[in-house]
Amino acid sequence: MENMQVDSTACLCKVDAGLKTVSGARKFVPGAKNCQQPSIRPSVRPSKRRAARGERSRSQSPLLPGLPDDLAIACLIRVPRAEHRKLRLVCKRWYRLLAGNYFYSLRKNLEITEEWIYVIKRDRDGRISWEAFDPVYQLWQPLPPVPLEYSEALGFGCAVLSGCHLYLFGGKDPLKGSMRRVIFYSARTNKWHRAPDMLRRRHCFGYCVMNNCLYVAGGESEGVHRSLRSAEVYDPNKNRWSFISEMSTAMVPFIGVVYNGKWFLKGLGSHRQVLSEVYLPETDSWYPVVGGMVSGWRNPSVCLNGQLYALDCKDGCKLRVYDEESDSWSGHIDSRMHLGGSRALEAAALVPLNGKLCIIRNNMSISLVDVARPEGEPCWETIAGKGQLKTFMTNLWSNIAGRRRLKSHIVHCQVLQA
């Protein structure tokens, strides 16, 4: 892939040339390398003349004038995440400090990391783009472009490992067919990197993350047997894929969730019949599953604080809760302010954000639901952002516009920390 230059005023990065190799990306993966403090000297290779007065030079150019470097770092790690791209421009020492895992590991240890919402969209011409939303400043942030191999891909997976790495994997290229390709974006470096390819080519498959490992199963591939039974897992610490037990039957999943440490999948079999299976990682085994959970299960859905939630209406303004004791979906959580049934207002994703449920719609409006309030009913809140509906007329216009072809629709949505 070509080394594409991104507008330096927008996101201050390049698409990493390491996309051509896998080994070069290992240093960005937490667990693959100890998070040691990087060299933040004024020069990486000082000349002999400068080496003679190295200690004096370092004392004359601290990270922050008047403070030792450890206190300066303690100050810098508390700078809001939205300002980090500006910090990298101050000097080479600050750039080196923010370029690795050390800086962000300190933020994580002190529990001052910030969660941003990352939305991957497809426009009416089939092209993929993406943006990040900062819920603190309530602003959409620019990002480096999606690498070429995923600019028009279909049926690919999207998941987050280690809290800060967004993986794109598999999918179908319009010209080359099903892919094994795996890449990931690091919220710490603001760059794309390569990861080892999957063991099987597949698209429209199921996937999940358990114990910080990425699982994929089923889907389709070109050939005699289009539907797949095979499943595999990626361990970022070992940086490799491994096969796990095959599913009971071939399936093209259309919904999946991790609940109580088990991976539930629901999809279509080779004869277009609806199938449901559950995977148990402890025993590496698949079992067919029936009951109230899968029969009343709708997408999108997510598990938060051990409770399983799913949307119950098109605009996402009503939620359902799964009751394990009665094996049924109940406990409607209603905002009492429904937006409409147009495609523009359709809820495309349900993700956890800072301990709350976050609903993202195709028009890029976002709602937060605090389901853990100790008193009263859950609180609904609309975050200011693109597509926020403010008046009745705006709502009406969105419904009319939604009947036409959408300008773009959301394909994936994830939350990354940094």
pLDDT score of 360: 96
Q: Rounded to an integer, what distance in angstroms lies between the CA atom of residue 166 and that of residue 154? A: 17
Mean pLDDT of 358-379: 88
Token match 């790495």: residue?
Answer: 165
- Using CB atoms within 10 A of its CB, is residue 400 exposed (0-12), middle (13-18) or buried (19+)? exposed
d(CA 349, CA 366): 10
User: Tokens representing 296?
Assistant: 């009343």
Query: Closest by alpha carbon to 409, among 345, 319, 339?
Result: 345
Which pLDDT does position 5 carry in this prediction?
Answer: 30
Residues 6+ apart with CB under 8 A from 299: 254, 255, 310, 311
pLDDT at position 113, please?
A: 96
Average pLDDT, the chain: 84
User: Is residue 276 pLDDT above 90, yes or no?
Assistant: yes
Residue 144 pLDDT greater than 60, yes or no: yes
Return the minimum-mean-pLDDT range out of 16-30, 296-310, 340-354: 16-30
Give the percent of the chain with pLDDT over 70.
79
Quick one: pLDDT at residue 179? 96
Distance, in Å, from the CA atom of 149 to the CA atom of 124, rounded to the nearest integer, reads 18
Work out the percent of the chain whose per-residue pLDDT is above 90.
66
The pLDDT-based confidence of 38 (bands split at 50, 70, 90) is low
Residue 158 has pLDDT above 50, yes or no: yes
> With bands split at pLDDT 50, 70 and 90, how would you rate the model's confidence at 225?
low
Q: Which residue has the tokens 């605009």?
A: 315
Q: Given this model, what pLDDT does residue 7 score?
A: 27
pLDDT at 40: 56
Per-residue model confidence (pLDDT) at position 32: 43
Residue 56: pLDDT above 50? no
Spans of all domains in the chain: 17-109
Q: Which of 67-81, 135-149, 220-234 has the lowest mean pLDDT?
A: 220-234
Residue 103 vs residues 42, 95, 96, 215, 290: alpha-carbon distances, Å: 17, 11, 10, 29, 47
Distances (CA, A) of 237 to 29, 34, 104: 8, 11, 18
Q: What is the pLDDT of residues 163-176, one digit of tens each?
A: 999 999 999 999 99
What is the H or E stretch that residue 332 is in? strand 328-334
**Which residue, 217, 131, 128, 177, is CA-closest to 411?**
128
Where do the DSSP E strands lie in 106-238?
A: 115-123, 128-134, 139-141, 157-161, 165-169, 172-173, 177-178, 182-186, 191-195, 206-210, 213-217, 231-235
**Rounded distance, CA 147 to CA 304, Å?**
32
What is the predicted pLDDT for the residue at 346?
Answer: 93
- 372 residue type, one letter: A
Checking if the pLDDT of 405 tops 50, the result is yes
How far, in Å, CA of 228 to CA of 270, rounded?
9
